Structure 1
Amino acid sequence: MSALEEHIDIDVPADLAWDFLHRTESYPRFVEGVREARPEGGNRAHLDVEAGGRTQDLEAEITDRDQGRTMEWQTTSGPDLAGSFSLLPIDSEHTRLQARIEYDPGAVREPFGGKKGFAQATAIERLVRSDLDQFKRLVEQAK
């Protein structure tokens, strides 16, 4: 498994960022390639993802940890992907969002565009950085 960690500082309280992270239906607004997302009850979500010219349905299980400061997720269908989003309060009005993505480059290569597609580490880094920037814009506009 390969892992990628990125972070971004957001000008909102941690509770507001936490609430926004849990709005599954808003994922298409800040996660590149997600065309539709919906909660499936309990701690499960369904995502329709387009990448590398292909559409892929993913099911994910989401678990909250660390007293509401870390959201962990794991795909239960499609490519084996996992990760977490941790919120670290900087002060009462600022939060650091730490993202960690774990993936097997061989397992995501075929579903997400072949040898030069989604599986390239630099492409994944750019996607995650872009998603964090978009999340920051959206959550700061919502405050």
Structure 2
Amino acid sequence: MSTLEEHVDIAVPIDAAWDSLHHMEEYPRFMDGVRDARTETGGRAHLDVDAGGRSRSFEAEVSDHGDHRVMEWRTTGDPRLSGSFSLQPIDQGHTRVQARVEYDPGPVRDSFGGPKGFAQANAIERLVRGDLEHFKEYLERQR
């Protein structure tokens, strides 16, 4: 299992960032490859994704730890992915968003194709970093 952690500082209050994470229907606006995303009942989410030239649908279980500003998620099918978003206030108008993704490179490669080993890890890192930067731009544009 591989773990990736990235963060970005955003010029919005923590409540604004926290609320935006819960509007999954907005994910296609800032997450590369996400065509559709929606919240479903029972702490579940559905995402339609294009990655590596392949289209996939994912179901995920999502849980909140609002008192600590942590949203955890995990896919319910293959490939097995899990992760979290942790929000930390920097000051009244700025928030640090930490993304953590855990994945097994083999099944991810089998599901989406692409390079092996180190090159794949770099591609996933670029994707997560890019999505965080797009989230930052999206939120700061809303202000």
TM-score (norm 2): 0.94
Q: Percent identity over the alignment?
A: 64
Regions of 4+ moved over 2 Å: 114-117
Q: What 5-or-longer segments of structure 1 have no aligned partner?
A: none
* SS class of match (2:12): coil
> Paired residue for 2:75?
75
Distance, in Å, in 1 between the alignment partners of 2:44 and 2:102 is 18
| Aligned equivalents of 1:110, 1:64: Cα separation in 2 | 30
Residue aligning to 2:142: 142
Are 2:114 and 2:120, in contact at CA under 8 Å, matched by a contact in 1? no
Q: Per-residue deviation at 1:66?
A: 5.3
Once the two structures are TM-superposed, the CA of residue 115 in structure 1 deviates from its matched residue by: 3.6
SS of equivalent to 1:110 = helix
Q: What SS class does the counterpart of residue 18 from structure 2 fall into?
A: helix
Q: Would you say the 8 A contact 1:38–1:45 is kept in 2?
A: yes
**Matched ranges for 1:1-143 at <5 A:** 1-65=1-65, 67-116=67-116, 120-143=120-143
Give how far 1:68 is off.
Answer: 4.9
Q: Letter of the aligned partner of 1:95 in structure 2?
A: T
Cα root mean square deviation, aligned: 1.5
Q: Any stretches of 5+ residues in structure 2 without a counterpart?
A: none
Residues 46-91 of structure 1 deviation map (CA, whole Å, 9 limit, x = unaligned):
0001111110110001101251500000001231000000000001
Give the CA deviation at 1:114: 4.0
- Aligned residue for 2:111, secondary structure, equals coil
Q: TM-score, normalised by structure 1?
A: 0.94
> How many pairs does the alignment contain?
142
Secondary structure of 1:111's match? helix
1:90-137 deviation per Cα after TM superposition (whole angstroms, max 9, x unaligned): 0110000001010000111111114459x8100001001100000000
